Each structure stands twice: as C-alpha cells, then as structure tokens.
C-alpha cells in the first residue's frame, strides 16, 4: 500500500514538521498499484438513483464517494493503517477520531474559497470555528498539475484572528499573504498532511479535459465538550480485519455523530448535462417499469406467482437433465 520510503520515514519527524510548519508533504507515499486498485473500486460514472447501496453522488463539477469505509477496502486500509494511526498517536495528546472522509473527483473547473477546517456544525450548518487540534490528510489519486492543494505558510498560528469568517476572500489573501502561498502540484499517490487550523484551498482552475481525484480525511482531537462532532461512519463489516480497541475508537464505534454526510446532494446539485444523461439511463428503466405495471394490472397476482413457480421448476428440471447427461 505505502511505498517503503514513506513507511520508513521517521514518524517523529513527520509530527515535528507538522507542529512547527503546520504541514508535511511526501511525494508518492502510496504505490501506483494501490492507487489503481482503489480507483477500480469506485465507478464515478454511476450516480446513485434509487440504488440500494452506498455510492457516488454529484455536486456541480465534483463527484463524491463519501462512504468509502463501506465501499472501498483499499481506502479503508489507508485510513486505518498503522502509519496513519502512529502519526495521529504521536501528534495528539488526547482521544482522536476520524471526523469525515471522502474520495472525490473534480473535473473541468472549480473555484474553492480559502478556508480552515476547524468547523463546528449544527446539522450541516457551520456555527463556529473550534480550537480542537486536528489533521487533514489528503492523498492525490491522480497526477496533479493544476487545481493543486494550496496552503498559506504559518497560517495555523494566526488563522484564529479570522474565526468569525466562514471564508477568506481571494483579494484579501492576494493583498496580504501572496508571498506565503505554497502550491503543491505532485504525482499520484502523494500525501499532503496539514493542521486543520491552517488556511488552504484547491487552486482554482478551468480546463475541460482535466480531472483531479483525491482521497481526503480529517482526524480531530475531540474533547468531551464536543460529543457528536463529526460525520457518521458507515463501515462494511467485511473490511474489519484489523479491529482493535484503538481502531474502534478512532472510527468512532459507539460514539455519537451529529453531522450529515458531506456534501448534501439532491437532483438540484446535478449539472443539467448530468440530468440529461440520467434521462437516457432512465428511459429503458421507465419502459420496463411501465410494462411490469401493465402486466400486474391485467393479470391476477396468483397467476403471476404460479407462472414464476412453473418457470423455476422448468429451470431445475433442465439443470438436472444436463448434470445427469454428463
Ligand atoms: O482538494 C483540496 O485540495 C482541498 C480540499 C479542502 O480543502 C476541503 O475539502 O476542505
């Protein structure tokens, strides 16, 4: 999963860099094979619509798989890996828990505002900035040449001055901190780790042929006064092959979660062209639904059930004949 050079990179040093600079960067921390296998677990072309499963949703130009812990074993393995837990264990001095996570794919254009991630919510609304320590983990799952992560150096030490702001404007940052902007284009598999109190964003871009895919998760040191802080975690029990009290606590087993999954989506967050694509997909399904309902309305249910029984028996007899003949 991780490149040996990352596994062997001293955890103490990572934490020291985080505490002093507010960020840590490692190129190609994940192996290409792990990234490729992870991406195969996610179908970004299949948007959920009355589908009885967890999966991909869309909000404008970004497609999200929020419930990765239920859908992608490779993501589960990264999030609960020994190296990540060691970094957290060394960085935090009280109980820490994962508060949100997602894999997302950004295409064509995006303009994210400058912000910090120390958000306290009521439902999906931000109510104030909190002062709990926290770490943002971001892995590039594609080569990132534009729309790179940007971080304002040292901002983790002074961002609290702007705690009453939801975002900081581009013009304010350009006028006051343009020298301090760190932009991080890097190859797929690279890791960026930063203090959630640091001011950051994805650099705005516009390029019809460009896509960036990312795994992001956040771990906060949740004090007893902030019970319920974080999004609910839906976990596939099949993945839990490393369940220890440490992992259970980190994932929030038995811990209250008050925030809804991010982002909040509906038909209205889709782009018109995605709605059109969906209509094409819906057309044959609509015909199927209509014909089923027509059959149901003219034939008694008892007859349909008996017909299914006859078909089932015919199939069994056929299978038996085939096995007997071999
Ligand atoms: O995608 C990125 O580069 C930054 C993401 C981010 O800041 C966020 O989702 O809060």
- Consecutive 10-residue averages of pLDDT for the chain (326 residues): 98 98 98 98 95 97 98 98 98 96 98 97 94 98 98 98 96 98 98 98 98 98 90 97 96 96 96 91 94 92 92 94 88
208 CA → ligand 1 middle, Å = 20
Q: CB-side exposure of 148: number of CA atoms within 13 Å?
A: 18
Q: Please report the pLDDT score of residue 309 as a whole number.
A: 94
| Residue carrying structure tokens 């015919």 | 314
Q: Whose CA is nearest to atom 8 of ligand 1?
A: 201
Q: Whose CA is nearest to atom 2 of ligand 1?
A: 202
Run of H or E including 305: helix 301-325
Render pLDDT for 113-149 as a digit per residue (tens, 0 to 9): 999 999 999 999 999 999 999 999 999 999 999 999 9
Q: Where are the beta strands (DSSP E) in the chain?
A: 23-26, 56-59, 62-65, 96-110, 119-122, 125-129, 134-140, 144-152, 181-186, 191-195, 200-202, 205-221, 228-231, 257-259
313 CA → ligand 1 middle, Å = 56
Q: Please report the pLDDT score of residue 228 as a whole number.
A: 95
Q: What are phi and psi of 143, to 5 degrees?
A: -65, 130
Q: Whose CA is nearest to atom 7 of ligand 1?
A: 201
Structure letter (DSSP) for residue 242: T
d(CA 40, CA 285): 26
150 CA → ligand 1 middle, Å = 9
Angle at 263 between CA 227 and CA 182, to 5 degrees: 90
What is the dihedral sign for C-alpha 285, 314, 312, 305? positive
Q: Which of 112, 183, 186 is the best mutation target for the ligand 1 pocket, counting ligand atoms within 8 Å of the beta carbon and taking the most? A: 112
Q: Please report the pLDDT score of residue 16 as a whole number.
A: 98
Q: Whose CA is nearest to atom 6 of ligand 1?
A: 201
325 CA → ligand 1 middle, Å = 62
221 CA → ligand 1 middle, Å = 20
Closest Cα partner for 191 from 134, 117, 138? 138
| Residue carrying structure tokens 């350009």 | 174
311 CA → ligand 1 middle, Å = 54
d(CA 22, CA 217): 16
- Ligand 1 site, CB within 6 A: 117, 149, 200-202, 214, 216
CB-CB contact of 100 with 252 (8 Å) = no
CATH of domain 4-268: 2.60.120.620
d(CA 214, CA 188): 9
Which ligand 1 atom is the nearest neighbour of the CA of 203?
3
136 CA → ligand 1 middle, Å = 9
d(CA 152, CA 162): 14
Q: Which of 138, 140, 141, 190 is the best mutation target for the ligand 1 pocket, counting ligand atoms within 8 Å of the beta carbon and taking the most? A: 138
Q: Residue 151, class by beta-carbon neighbours within 10 Å (0-12 exposed, 13-18 middle, 19+ buried)?
A: buried
d(CA 258, CA 119): 13
118 CA → ligand 1 middle, Å = 13
Run of H or E including 110: strand 96-110
Q: Whose CA is nearest to atom 10 of ligand 1?
A: 117
Spell out the alpha helix ranges (H) of 56-164.
Answer: 68-71, 73-79, 82-91, 155-158
123 CA → ligand 1 middle, Å = 20
d(CA 113, CA 131): 21
What is the dihedral sign for C-alpha 62, 63, 68, 74? negative
d(CA 73, CA 79): 10
| CA 162 to chain centroid | 27
């Amino acid at each position: 999963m991780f490149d040996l050079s990352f596994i062997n990179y001293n955890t103490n040093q990572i934490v020291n860099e985080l505490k002093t600079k507010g960020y840590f960067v490692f190129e190609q921390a994940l192996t290409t094979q792990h990234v490729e296998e992870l991406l195969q677990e996610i179908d970004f072309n299949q948007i959920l619509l009355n589908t009885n499963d967890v999966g991909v949703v869309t909000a404008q130009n970004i497609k999200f798989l929020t419930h990765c812990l239920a859908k992608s074993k490779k993501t589960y393995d990264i999030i609960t890996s020994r190296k990540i837990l060691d970094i957290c264990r060394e960085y935090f001095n009280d109980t820490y828990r994962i508060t949100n996570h997602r894999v997302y794919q950004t295409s064509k254009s995006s303009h994210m505002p400058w912000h910090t991630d120390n958000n306290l919510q009521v439902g999906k609304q931000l109510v104030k900035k909190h002062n709990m320590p926290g770490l943002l983990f971001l892995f590039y799952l594609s080569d990132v040449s534009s729309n790179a992560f940007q971080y304002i150096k040292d901002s983790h030490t002074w961002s609290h001055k702007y705690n009453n702001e939801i975002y900081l404007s581009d013009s304010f940052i350009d006028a006051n901190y343009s020298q301090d902007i760190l932009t991080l284009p890097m190859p797929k598999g690279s890791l960026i780790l930063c203090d959630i109190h640091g001011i950051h964003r994805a650099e705005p871009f516009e390029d019809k042929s460009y896509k960036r895919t990312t795994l992001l998760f956040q771990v906060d040191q949740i004090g007893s006064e902030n019970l319920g802080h974080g999004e609910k975690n839906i976990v596939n029990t099949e993945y839990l092959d490393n369940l220890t009290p440490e992992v259970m606590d980190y994932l929030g087993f038995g811990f209250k979660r008050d925030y809804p999954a991010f982002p909040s989506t509906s038909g209205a967050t889709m782009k018109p062209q995605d709605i059109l694509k969906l209509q094409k997909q819906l057309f044959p399904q609509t015909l199927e639904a209509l014909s089923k309902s027509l059959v149901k309305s003219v034939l008694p249910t008892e007859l349909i059930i008996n017909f299914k029984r006859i078909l089932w028996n015919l199939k069994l007899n056929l299978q038996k004949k085939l096995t007997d003949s071999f």
